[in-house]
Amino acid sequence: MARGDQLGRQWKIIQTLMSSHAGKTAPELADELGCRPRTVYRDLEALQVGGFPLFRERIDNRNYWSLIDTAKRQIPIPFSLTELMALYFSRNMIKFLKNTVFYDSLETLFQKIKTTLSQDYIQYLTRIENSLEVGQTPYKPYGEYKEIIEQVNEAVVHQRFIRMVYYTMSRKEALEREVAPYKIWFFDGTFYLIGYCRFRDDIRIFALDRIKSLKETEEVFEIPESFDFESFMRSSFGVFHGEPATVRIWFDAEIAEYISEKIWHDTQTIEKQKDGSILFTAEVAGTEEIKFWIMNWGSKALVLEPESLRNEIRAEAEAMLKRY
């Protein structure tokens, strides 16, 4: 039996008992978990050995298992035990943000929580945390940008304009901008600032690690009621916006199932073909990012439209061929 399966079952047992007023029998728990009562008895014994205050009460010739009521309320913060377990999992998921305000604040919260728990609880939560490992690549060493992230976060919260020097990758130059910061957005391993740029007189997206210097001003702003982040990003295939386009792509049967099992874009539609291939269609704002996504699939993908995107990929392929 996989260690993760056992811990997952025990977590569900605790969650069920936490929410149960009358308790549960082992057969009832087994039905909910999809396992044998014998397995549940072993898990209950392991939880008791681990220090969880379980007790058994016999009613109408049946044994009901419960958590002692005081245990359900012993954490002096508004977290249930299972919510605390989920929080422990989350720490593993954002290790790549170490030395930023987001990770460090969560780590401080953990330390405060641990002072309220028994050693047995801490050991059990640590076992649960170690049962999950999250891979996040590529990512940037955001500890190096800790001060910038904190300054931008403060400006977003206080709704104050910032004056910053921003390095533009396409033009290879740094320019001063005044921006009303609406939101910090983390996407695909990168932190972005979304806000109104006075220089462009429009909403723009800035990578936080390209901000060379920053100062919060005294000027306040209000986010327009017309601005909705979900709507703003919905048509983009990745980060940046461009001219709207309908993109149709043929995918070979060999990778059709993999493409079909994910939501790559909110507007996507997928048509299955008789030979097992699929036709993928989406309405996107700009084709630059979807171009590189298509090229990831090599000869297993073929752009049907727009013609301009077909030409761009053909040119890229010809340039690659010359290098080889």
| Domain contains 35 | yes
Do 132 and 202 belong to one domain? no
**Is the CA virtual torsion 49, 2, 113, 108 positive or negative?**
positive
Q: Which of 42-51, 130-139, 175-184, 248-257 has the lowest mean pLDDT?
A: 130-139
Q: Give residue 206's pLDDT.
A: 94
Tell me: pLDDT of 281 over 60.
Answer: yes
Give the pLDDT score at 101.
Answer: 74
Q: What is the CATH number of the domain that holds 63?
A: 1.10.10.10
Q: What are phi and psi of 98, to 5 degrees?
A: -55, 145
Query: Is 152 in contact with 181 (CB distance < 8 Å)?
Result: yes
Tell me which residue range forms the domain holding 253: 244-323
Query: Into how many domains does the chain fold?
Result: 3
> Which residues, at least 6 apart from 314, have a Cβ–Cβ distance to it below 8 Å?
none
Q: pLDDT digit string (tens) for 96-122? A: 777 777 778 778 877 777 766 777 777
Whether 1 maps to a domain, the answer reads: yes
Whether the pLDDT of residue 87 is over 90: the answer is: no
Local structure of residue 76 (DSSP, 8 states): S
Torsion of CA 231, 234, 240, 242, to 10 degrees: -90
Mean pLDDT of the chain: 84
Residue 230 lies in a domain: no
What confidence category does residue 72 fall into, taking pLDDT thresholds of 50, 70 and 90? Answer: very low
Q: Taking 70 as the threshold, does the pLDDT of residue 12 lie above it?
A: yes
Q: What is the DSSP letter of 24?
A: B
The pLDDT score that the predictor gives to residue 278 is 96
Which of 136, 156, 184 is the C-terminal boundary of a domain? 136
Judgement on whether residues 32 and 130 belong to the same structural domain of the protein: yes
Tell me the per-residue pLDDT of 198-250, one tens digit each, with 9 for 90 and over.
999 999 999 998 999 999 999 999 999 888 888 887 778 878 777 889 999 99
How many CA atoms lie within 13 Å of 246's alpha carbon, on the beta-carbon side?
A: 5
Asked, for residue 160, whether it belongs to a domain, the answer is yes
pLDDT band at residue 95 using 50, 70 and 90 as cut-offs: confident
What mean pLDDT comes out for the span 241-265? Answer: 92
Last-in-domain residue among 224, 259, 283: 224
Band of residue 79 on the pLDDT scale cut at 50, 70, 90: low
Please check whether residue 236 lies inside any domain of the structure: no
Same-domain status, 9 and 131:
yes
- Is there a domain that residue 233 lies in? no
What percent of the chain has pLDDT above 90? 41
- Percentage of the residues of the chain whose pLDDT score is greater than 70: 87
Residue 238 resides in a domain: no
What was the pLDDT predicted at 75?
47
Contact 258, 206 (CB under 8 A): no
Q: Is the pLDDT of residue 169 over 60?
A: yes
- The average pLDDT across 32-47 equals 88
Under the banding of pLDDT at 50, 70 and 90, the label for residue 319 is very high
Strand order, beta sheet including 202-207: 202-207, 190-197, 173-187, 160-168, 211-220
- Identify whether residues 4 and 116 lie together within a single domain: yes
Structure tokens at 275: 């030979």
Asked which of 177, 194, 224 is the last residue of a domain, the reply is 224
Are 216 and 162 in contact by the 8 Å Cβ rule? The answer is: yes
Say which residue, 313 or 110, is predicted with more confidence: 313
Question: Strand order in 269-272's β-sheet?
Answer: 269-272, 278-285, 244-251, 301-305
What pLDDT, on a 0 to 100 scale, did the predictor assign at position 113? 72
Q: Note the Cα 154 to chain centre separation in Å.
A: 22
Give long-range contacts, CB 8 A cutoff, 24+ apart: 17-21. Answer: 17/54, 17/65, 17/66, 17/67, 18/67, 18/72, 18/80, 18/81, 18/82, 20/66
Q: What is the average per-residue pLDDT within 61-70?
A: 76
Question: What phi and psi, each to the nearest 5 degrees, are found at residue 66?
Answer: -145, 165
Domain assignment present for residue 314? The answer is yes
Do 131 and 156 have their domain in common?
no
What's the Cα-to-Cα distance from 80 to each of 8, 38, 101, rounded to whole Å?
17, 27, 25
Same domain, 170 and 213: yes
Q: How many CA atoms lie within 13 A of 5 on its CB side?
A: 7
How many residues can be counted in the chain? 324
Q: What mean pLDDT is predicted for residues 315-320? A: 93
Residue 94 is predicted with a pLDDT of 75
Q: What is the CATH number of the domain that holds 300?
A: 3.30.70
Whole-number pLDDT of residue 50: 67
Q: Are residues 204 and 265 in the same domain?
A: no
Q: Please give the average per-residue pLDDT across 63-74, as a whole number.
A: 64
Asked if pLDDT for residue 135 goes beyond 60, the answer is yes
On whether both 13 and 132 belong to a single domain, the answer is: yes
